[in-house]
Chain A
Amino acid sequence: MPQQQPQITNNGSPVGLDVGTSRIVTAHRVDNEFQYQTQLNAFVNLPYSKMTENVLSKERVLHSVQGSNIVVHGTESERFADLLRVETRRPMSRGVLNPDEPQSLNQIQKIIESLAGPARAKGQKLYFTVPAAAAGADDSLTYHEASLRQILTDFGYDVHSINEGLAVVYAELESTNFTGIGVSCGGGLCNVCLSYLSVPVLSFSMNKGGDFIDSSAAGATGDLINRIRITKEDTFHFNGHFADKTLQALSVYYEDMIQALVGSMKEAFLSAKSLPKLARPIPLVLSGGTTMPKGFRGRFEKALLASDFPIALSEVRLAKNPLESTAKGALVAALSEI
Chain B
Amino acid sequence: MALSGKLRNLQPERYVDWRAKRISDPIDKLQYLRRGMKDRNPPVRRPVWKRLSLGAFVIVAVSILLPAPSHRQMLPETTQKPSPETYSNIWLVEESDREQVFSNGLRIDKRFSVPNRPRSYQALDRKHGMTPSPDWRSQPAGIVFHTTESALAPFEAEKNGALKRISQILIASLRDNRSYHFLIDRFGRVFRLVEETSAANHAGNSIWADQNWAYLNLNSSFLGISFEAQTNPGEPVPTINTAQIHAGRILTEMLRSKYRIPGENCVTHAQVSVNPSNMRIGYHTDWARGFPFAALGLDNNYGLPLPSLSDFGFQYDDIFRQAIGPDLWKGIPRAESQRELEAASHHRTIAGQRRFLQERYRKLYPAFKLTGAIEETTDATTTTTNNQ
Q: How many residues of A contact B (CB 8 A)?
A: 21
Complex-state Cα separation, A337 to B32, whole angstroms: 10
Asked if A239 is at the interface (CB within 8 A of a chain B CB), the reply is no
Shortest CB distance A275–B (Å): 5
Is A198's CB within 8 Å of the partner chain B? yes
Determine if B272 is an interface residue (Cβ-Cβ < 8 Å): no
Decide if A150 is an interface residue (CB 8 Å cutoff): no
Cβ-defined contact, A174 with B45, below 8 A = no
In the complex, B27 has a CB within 8 A of chain A: yes
Closest Cβ of chain A to B346, distance in Å, is 28
Chain A residues near B20: list those with CB within 8 A: 177, 197
Q: Are the CB atoms of A197 and B33 closer together than 8 Å?
A: yes
Give complex CA distance A153, B33 in Å: 28
A338: interface (CB < 8 Å): yes
| Contact of A198 with B43 in the complex, beta carbons under 8 Å | no
Contact with B along A247-277 (1 / 0, CB 8 A): 0000000000000000000000000001111
B17 adjacent to A177 (CB under 8 Å): yes
In this assembly, does B59 line the interface, its C-beta being within 8 Å of a C-beta of chain A? no
Residues of A within 8 A of B13 (CB): 197
Q: State the CA gap A177–B21 with chains docked (Å).
A: 7
* B35 contacts A338, C-beta separation under 8 Å: yes
Say yes or no: A197 contacts B17, CB within 8 Å: yes
B30→A198 contact, CB < 8 A: yes
Q: How far is the CB of A182 from chain B (nearest CB, A)?
A: 13
Residues of chain A with a CB closer than 8 A to B17's CB = 177, 179, 197
Q: Is the CB of A274 within 8 A of B35?
A: no
Interface residues of A in 171-219 (CB under 8 A from B): 174, 177-179, 196-199, 201
Is A40's CB within 8 Å of the partner chain B? no
A174 close to B37 (CB less than 8 A): no
Q: Which of B29, B31, B42 contacts A338 (CB 8 A)?
A: B31
Interface centre among B20, B30, B31, B40 (most CB of A within 10 A): B30
Encode contact with A along B58-91: 1 for CB under 8 Å, 0 otherwise: 0000000000000000000000000000000000
The answer to whether the Cβ of A236 comes within 8 Å of any Cβ in the partner chain is no
Binds B, one of A45-53, A296-304, A328-336: A328-336
B38 interface contact, C-beta 8 A:
yes
Chain B residues with Cβ below 8 Å from A278 are 45
Near B by CB (< 8 A), chain A positions 266-310 give 274-278
Within the complex, what minimum Cβ distance (angstroms) separates B265 from chain A? Answer: 22
Instruction: Judge if B151 is at the interface, Cβ distance under 8 Å.
Output: no
Q: How far is the CB of B335 from chain A (nearest CB, A)?
A: 25
Please tell me if B3 contacts chain A, counting CB pairs below 8 Å.
no
The docked-state distance in angstroms from the alpha carbon of A201 to that of B15 is 19
- Complex partner residue of B33 from A178, A275, A276, A277, CB under 8 angstroms: A178
Is B34 interfacial (CB-CB < 8 Å)? yes
Q: Is the CB of B31 within 8 A of A276?
A: no
A170 within 8 A of B: yes
Decide if B169 is an interface residue (CB 8 Å cutoff).
no
The answer, among A174, A197, A337, A338, for a CB contact under 8 Å with B16, is A197
- Given contact pairs A197-B33, A338-B31, A275 touches B44 in the complex (Cβ within 8 A): yes
Q: Are A174 and B26 in contact (CB-based, < 8 A)?
A: yes
Residues from chain A with Cβ under 8 Å of B29 in the complex: 174, 177-178
Q: What is the bound-complex CA distance between A333 and B31, given in angstroms?
A: 8
Cα(A37)–Cα(B26), bound, Å: 22
List A contacts of B43 (CB < 8 A).
276-277
Residues from chain B with Cβ under 8 Å of A333 in the complex: 30
Q: How far is the CA of A199 from the CA of B35 in the complex (A)?
A: 10
A-B contact pairs, 25 of them (CB 8 A): A170-B30, A174-B29, A177-B29, A177-B33, A178-B30, A196-B42, A197-B13, A197-B16, A197-B42, A198-B37, A199-B37, A199-B42, A201-B42, A274-B45, A275-B44, A276-B42, A276-B43, A276-B44, A276-B45, A277-B45, A278-B45, A333-B30, A336-B30, A338-B31, A338-B38
4 interchain residue pairs of minimum CB distance: A276-B42, A336-B31, A198-B33, A336-B30
Known: A275-B45, A277-B43, A336-B28. 8 other contacts (CB 8 A): A174-B29, A177-B17, A177-B21, A177-B33, A196-B42, A197-B37, A198-B37, A335-B27
